[in-house]
């Protein structure tokens, strides 16, 4: 396992990659800059640290989508338990609003 890591790092360096002072959030190994991308030789391109370093402004809508999805789950659970007709309609209205926002986010 350790040897495999070193082999991959060496391969990346020989291919023109540059070792960065940033470490991978998954395996704690050093990240490399290779062909304009930040890559972990062990985990591949998609590491949390690489995302944060390479594209700081890339994910705000993803974050909003995550929060809204979590809210939808909470509302759906409430809706399931709700027996009061008026409150059920209120919940449905809130769910509808969230779904509308999610739709708009997808249009972008």
| Residue ranges binding Zn ion (CB under 5 A) | 24, 26-27, 40, 42-43
Phi-psi label, residue 22: left if phi above 0, alpha if psi -120 to 50, beta otherwise: beta
Shortest distance (Å) from residue 44 CB to Zn ion: 8
CB of 42 to Zn ion, least distance (A): 4
- Cβ proximity to Zn ion: between 44 and 89 the closer is 44
Q: Report the sign of the C-alpha dihedral through residues 18, 52, 73, 96, in that order.
A: negative
The smaller minimum CB distance to Zn ion, of residues 42 and 75, is found at 42
Q: How far is the CB of 70 from Zn ion (least distance, A)?
A: 27
26 vs 78, beta carbon nearer Zn ion: 26
Rounded to a whole number of angstroms, the minimum distance from the CB of residue 22 to Zn ion is 11
Residue with Cβ nearer Zn ion (22 or 40): 40
- Taking each helix axis from N to C end, the angle separating 85-107 and 60-81, rounded to the nearest 10 degrees, works out to 160
Please give the Cα distance from 46 to 93 (Å, whole number).
38
Look up tokens 């007709």; give the residue.
85
């Amino acid at each position: 396992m350790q040897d495999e890591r070193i082999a991959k790092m060496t391969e990346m360096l020989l291919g023109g990659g540059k070792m960065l002072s940033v470490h991978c959030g998954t395996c704690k190994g050093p990240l490399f800059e290779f062909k304009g991308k930040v890559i972990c030789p062990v985990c591949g391109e998609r590491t949390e640290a690489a995302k944060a370093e390479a594209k700081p402004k890339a994910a705000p809508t993803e974050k909003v989508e995550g929060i809204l999805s979590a809210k939808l789950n909470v509302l759906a659970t409430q809706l399931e338990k709700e027996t009061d007709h008026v409150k059920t309609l209120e919940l449905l209205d809130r769910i509808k609003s969230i779904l509308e926002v999610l739709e708009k986010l997808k249009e972008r």
